[in-house]
Structure 1
């Protein structure tokens, strides 16, 4: 029998089977249409599902400040560079150093005298009035910290939490000022592009990042599986409400019933097609014997796990190959280009790192050495193109003073009787700050300016050609998909 006859006969058998059981065909139109659904239903009945779901309830594209600083990740390198550009690296280094100090104290790996020596070193480096990396804390916090490091009873054992108040103060400053700025900076966009274009990207990275989720919702509407995504979002909102206890038990029960009636019941308008056993388990969890008990946080965990696996297997790979996902990347690239343009128009301040830290400096250098994030290259190129960007970290008052002097300012008379302008005033000329002999040759000075301008124009033309080719590629892909 030929292949086409076998294929035709198999189709006739499938048609006959479907005609014999229309109810079964109707059920298989939902999540049960996938051949691995039965295995998922059995596996999702295990008690380990809540813990596995908890490990997925985060996005590496949008970490919290706590996870960014205290959990192992490669995004910390980008955050360190951002903090250096804002002259706030001392705050982060202080928090990391205190974390290492408290860890060593808990493990009792050092003697009491060594612990006190390390604590005093941290205090003189960050908290004392003449500290090299001063944290602007109150005098009361400074005195309290010092008294905990050196108790009045002449003990050599410092309090293991002597830096807690100062650390909380520095943490609040980072959380209120630095971290929101980092999330909208070119450093964070660079990390997102790296993550989105890597093979490590997972579905939960998209679902728990609002900007990426918007593109995934658009794709789900286009591919007609928006009910699965809406069901997942409704379950997540219910879970967060249960954990945080934002509403009372009666409201939680009403919300759970709304989800059940919308997606799970036999008369649901957006029925997903779960089997009878799962439906009965959800009903029992919602209708608790105790009136004030309310539904538990794991009421929809089994259904959530099944939906997540289906989204991960069936739709997420297609999303990564879609035009919508490419548009997501192109939008981030456009945002990054705008951020780079903004960086060239303002000074980038850095603080040189010190190697005298007790251990966290080595941790920072080790974590940043395998990967040099793109913002480093961008910053260096901006400094070459814009000599006004200085790495000497002048204060705001110094910047204002320099700008107020103008180009025609005081200078000095050299031995040949020529007037030489002070190089510290004209920050726009890097040659003046490095060698005075260069300024004495006006022809060479003008040649350097022309050459720098030509290099900048060449870089802008190359960027324009790259953007044009990228847009043409996306347009061609869109046209091909439309033809298909």
Structure 2
């Protein structure tokens, strides 16, 4: 269990001095005002803080392409649907199948070289050959090199486990440069963001590591007069990224670290956050090392960053989720979705059918970790904007005929007889209408039902037209008799 969770659990029953936090706008803000600061300072002295912070340095609202494809997540379903809507599903299928093949080949789960070669040839004929079922437009040179690595000239040489490396890198570049940026701007990605924002899984790091969401949290922080805490976190994160990625030299890193220290931590800091003497001394030793060319260590500000994160997560993030600013964030995404949703509603979304005939249970390739066949059905449950293209209008009317559109029937004399079930149905439906007091629940329901209005109106119009035609026909028959 992480230190953050342990600390949360151990302090649930501790009383807090709320009067001091309510009047924080009238006093100099400092992290030591919180009663649990001393416990935080002690626990953050452990060496595991760096790994704790590393696990928080990402946002599920904006994953990298690598994390989207290779790590377990719910967003992959949305990306699969987007790739299918652009007729690019073969690119993604190739990446996933090659990843599964290389994993099995490296682990040497099978000692039969013929099976490994057969599995590689199966992938080649499925994606890279001229008559491939899921043809990927690669260069002829890449195709030739790949085939030579699968079937080497020497019979004693087995297939290279990395035989698809050139083809995989080529396809990955196509997705990374073209498909993925377009996906981030699509209605599919917006739908996923709305799903995350209206769920109970949202965490602080999802907000502060997503640029668009961070702007709303910064506005909230300014309103709560804690903008210095957020800016400190961002400055420390920029310093860490510069150090890890070696964006600047050691001398510049020392200068940047001293700037953060002088701005937020030292006793004379204009935006002093109020860390204790022990933490200040530790940071000074980390910045000013005996070897001037070594530069500051990567964990120079880890202890302070972790303390600030816990305070923001515990004291302010729950309030942010209930604020008007957060509801405006969701509302803005919904308005954006209305302009982008034509991609999902104007044309049916196809399913990605896995090719199971070419790989049997005896082959080396195993099934991919995320089943692709059930993707569309899962998304129709999770993604309210993706409507089924297989349900015809007549089927939809048949389903709804006993409910929303059920009114009565016309007898042989042309008289309209009201259905006796209508009164009971109306009573049940009216009794089930409850006022939604939770804004998150209201916005979630609005996302779900807003995009079905056009389809409902069209179905109602067609039903009314068929109903009038039926009455006209029956009346005409009576006149003829």
Q: Could you tell me the TM-score, scaled by structure 2's length?
A: 0.72
Give the match for residue 433 of structure 1: none
- In 2: Cα distance, 1:377 partner to 1:234 partner: 39
The separation in 1 between residues aligned to 2:119 and 2:180, in whole angstroms, is 28
The CA deviation at 1:288 is: 1.5
Counterpart residue number, 1:38? 38
**Equivalences for 1:59-458 in 2 at 5 Å?**
59-110=59-110, 111-155=112-156, 157-344=158-345, 352-356=353-357, 358-360=365-367, 363-365=370-372, 368=375, 371-373=378-380, 378-380=385-387, 456=455, 458=457
Give unmatched runs, 5+ long, in structure 1.
Answer: 1-14, 16-25, 387-453, 462-484
Q: Secondary structure at the match of 1:269?
A: coil
Query: CA, structure 1 residues 383+271, in 2 after alignment: closer, same or farther (shift >3 Å)?
Result: farther
**Structure 1 CA distance for aligned equivalents of residues 323 and 137 of structure 2:** 50
**Distance in 2 of aligned mates of 1:263 and 1:70:** 39
Cα distance change of structure 1 residues 113 and 133 upon mapping to structure 2, 3 Å threshold: same
> What is the distance in 1 between the residues matched to 2:238 and 2:454?
53
Whether the 8 Å contact between 2:192 and 2:383 is mirrored in structure 1 is no
Cα offset for 1:360? 4.2
Query: How far apart are 1:364 and its partner, in Å?
Result: 2.8
Give the 3 Å change call, closer, same or farther, for CA 101–264 of structure 1 in structure 2.
Answer: same
Distance in 2, Cα, partners of 1:455 & 1:73: 32
Alignment deviations for residues 380-432 of structure 1 (CA, whole Å, 9 cap, x no partner): 3689899xxxxxxxxxxxxxxxxxxxxxxxxxxxxxxxxxxxxxxxxxxxxxx
Q: After TM superposition, give the deviation of residue 345 of structure 1 in Å.
A: 5.4
CA distances 1:83-141 after superposition (whole Å, capped 9, x unpaired): 11111110110111011111111121222111111100000000000001011111111
Q: Distance between the aligned counterparts of 1:362 and 1:53, measured in 2? A: 28
- Structure 1 residue 350, shift from structure 2 partner: 6.8
Q: Residue 55 of structure 2 aligns to a residue in which SS?
A: helix
Residue in structure 1 matched with residue 420 of structure 2 by the alignment: none
Contact 1:145 1:163 in 2 (8 A): yes
CA distance in 1, matches of 2:164, 2:328: 47
Q: Which moved more, 1:221-230 or 1:147-156?
A: 147-156
1:193 CA displacement: 1.0
Separation in 2 of the partners of 1:365 and 1:349? 12
Tell me how far 1:355 sits from its aligned partner.
3.0
Q: 1:477 maps to which residue?
A: none
Matches of 2:352 and 2:376 in 1, distance apart? 18
With over 3 angstroms needed to count, the CA separation of the structure-2 counterparts of 1:138 and 1:29, relative to structure 1, is closer
SS of 1:371 mapped into structure 2: helix
CA deviations on 1:280-316 (whole Å, 9 max, x unpaired) are 1111111111222211111100000000000000000
Deviations 1:29-77 (A, max 9, x none): 5000101100000011111001111111011111100011111111111
Report SS of the residue matched to 1:198. coil
What is the count of residue pairs matched by the alignment? 370
**Structure 1 counterpart of 2:409:** none
Partner Cα distance (1:385, 1:41) in 2: 63
Partner of 1:395: none
Give the direction of change, closer, same or farther, for the CA distance of 1:459–1:198 in structure 2 (3 Å limit): farther
Q: Do the aligned residues in 2 keep the contact of 1:262 with 1:269 (CA within 8 Å)?
A: yes
Distance 2:349 2:376 in 1: 21
Secondary structure of 1:69's aligned partner = helix
Contact 1:261 1:267 in 2 (8 A): yes
Shift of 1:27: 10
Return the alpha-carbon distance in structure 1 between the equivalents of residues 368 and 242 of structure 2: 40
Residues 134 and 69 (structure 1), Cα distance of their counterparts in 2 relative to 1, 3 Å cut: same
Kindly report the root-mean-square deviation, in angstroms, between the aligned alpha carbons of the 2 structures: 2.7
Deviation of the 1:371 alpha carbon: 3.0
Tell me if structure 2 keeps the 8 A contact 1:83–1:92.
yes
CA contact (8 A) 2:32 2:275 kept: yes
Q: Tell me how far apart the structure 2 counterparts of residues 365 and 344 of structure 1 sit (CA, whole Å).
A: 22
SS of equivalent to 1:332:
helix
Q: 1:259 to 1:362 in 2, by over 3 A?
A: closer
Judge conservation of contact 1:91–1:170 (CA < 8 Å) in 2: yes
Q: Distance in 2 between matches of 1:355 and 1:29?
A: 62
**Cα distance change, pair 289–91 in 1 and its aligned pair in 2 (3 A):** same
**For 1:307-334, what per-residue CA distance to the aligned partner results, in whole angstroms no more than 9, with x for missing partners?**
0000000000000010101111111111
- CA 1:370–1:39: 2 relative to 1, 3 Å: farther
Q: Distance in 2 between matches of 1:259 and 1:163?
A: 47
TM-score by length of 1: 0.71
Equivalent-residue separation in structure 1 for 2:109 and 2:376 (angstroms)? 27
Is the CA contact (8 Å cut-off) linking 1:319 and 1:325 kept in structure 2? yes
> Structure 1 residue 366: deviation in Å?
6.7
